Amino acid sequence: MLFNQADELLQQGMQSEDNLALIEAVDSYRRGLALLPRQKSPLQRDLVHTNLAVALETLGEREDGTERFEEAVEVYREALKEQTRERAPLDWAATQMNLGNALARLGERESGTARLEEAVAAFLEVAEEYTRARAPLDWAAAQMNRGNTLRMIGEREKGTARLEEAVEAYREALQEYTREVAPRDWATTQISLAAALETLGERESGTARLEEAVEAYRDALQELTRARSPLEWATTQNNLGTALKDLGARESGTARLEKAVEAHREATQELTRARVPDQWAVTQHNLAVVYRALFEKDREPRHLADAILAIDGALEECRTANKSRLIEMAGALREKILAAKGEL
């Protein structure tokens, strides 16, 4: 009865964003676990641990700080003491995967990389049980999660070693996440691969990584079409535009930069100011960056006029939403655009 009530509260809290229901679910699960014998009810305890951790992670997503994620990590670790690898290897692997994801979310909110390193280790252990031969899609999921975590570490550290590991992990995942077998996972992995390649490209002097990033984004857009997934399509268009801008900045002509403008403009068809004002403002900022880069290439004054129009829109929306960091970034860019205009 207690667990049924907790399950109902968990469902209510997740569907209606009712945090109080989630808090009550957490309390009910904890009270129920204290009454449930370890030896006599191992399967039920496994399920309760999982549901308790899900409730805590959901609260963690909605709250600031790390406390809820830390609690979820502890719950998963408690579960692993009972749900051993020897007793139920695949169930153990599933809990390890959940632990890795919780550690990654915790690490995302912390400044260091210790939790992220723990998450990477957890995903490596998962792949020892979820082998490619035994559970190919679960193995691919572990590789994908490992890649995402390595990319976070790589973005915080100097050098390229961790980013290169992330690229390798994503490419491993794509061996099983094929477009034919798992089209959506294939597209999502292509986007993550592109992001890692783009960051690598920014740190290297050549253009090979950026070319690969552009190709990966375009591959993803074959599956994440505007008709099927409009907001994901638009976000990927925006990311493609940024990669094209980085590529165009290193080339002598303007063709890539013009393609970047096209991609960002495509994005605004779905990332509208009315629907997603924050993302619309970011896209306007991205457009202003590309227009300024175009001006630096061909010295056409019209690019500066377009840049001012875009950055003024971004600033207006950021001020409305009181986004201080974006206001600072957009304001600095506007000053650079006006300075360039004043030199004409």
For 119-131, what is each residue's pLDDT tens digit? 999 999 999 999 9
Structural domain that includes position 342: 281-344
For 278-315, what is each residue's pLDDT tens digit? 999 999 999 999 999 999 999 999 999 999 999 999 99
How far apart, in Å, are the Cα atoms of 301 and each of 229, 244, 291, 297?
37, 22, 10, 11
Structure tokens at 236: 């990927």
In which residue are the tokens 């979310």 written? Answer: 105
Tell me how far apart the alpha carbons of residues 166 and 144 are, in angstroms, rounded to a whole number: 9
Q: What is the mean pLDDT of residues 258-272?
A: 97
For 114-157, what is each residue's pLDDT tens digit? 999 999 999 999 999 999 999 999 999 999 999 999 999 999 99
Tell me how far apart the alpha carbons of residues 291 and 308 are, in angstroms, rounded to a whole number: 9
**What band does 82 get if pLDDT is binned at 50, 70 and 90?**
confident
Burial class, 258, CB count within 10 angstroms (exposed 0-12 / middle 13-18 / buried 19+): middle
Q: Is 299 left (phi over 0), alpha (psi -120 to 50) or beta?
A: left
pLDDT of residue 177: 98
Instruction: Determine what percent of the chain is predicted with pLDDT higher than 70.
Output: 100
Structure tokens at 239: 């990311």
Residue 338 is assigned to a structural domain of this protein: yes
Residue 327 is assigned to a structural domain of this protein: yes
Tell me how far apart the alpha carbons of residues 233 and 118 are, in angstroms, rounded to a whole number: 33
CA angle 293–294–296, rounded 5-degree value: 65
- Report the 10 Å Cβ neighbour count for 206: 9
Residue 315 is assigned to a structural domain of this protein: yes
Instruction: Determine what percent of the chain is predicted with pLDDT higher than 90.
Output: 86
Residue 297 is assigned to a structural domain of this protein: yes
Residue 136 is assigned to a structural domain of this protein: no
Tell me how far apart the alpha carbons of residues 286 and 319 are, in angstroms, rounded to a whole number: 17
In a 3-state reduction of DSSP, which class is residue 179? coil
CA-closest candidate to residue 179, choices 220, 215, 119, 240: 220
Residue 65 is assigned to a structural domain of this protein: no
Residue 291 is assigned to a structural domain of this protein: yes
Tell me how far apart the alpha carbons of residues 207 and 188 are, in angstroms, rounded to a whole number: 23
Tell me how far apart the alpha carbons of residues 24 and 285 are, in angstroms, rounded to a whole number: 43
Tell me how far apart the alpha carbons of residues 116 and 113 are, in angstroms, rounded to a whole number: 5
Domains contained in the chain, number:
1
For 27-69, what is each residue's pLDDT tens digit? 999 998 888 887 777 778 888 899 999 999 999 999 999 999 9
In a 3-state reduction of DSSP, which class is residue 142? helix
Residue 87 is assigned to a structural domain of this protein: no
For 179-207, what is each residue's pLDDT tens digit? 999 999 999 999 999 999 999 999 998 99
Tell me how far apart the alpha carbons of residues 336 and 342 are, in angstroms, rounded to a whole number: 10
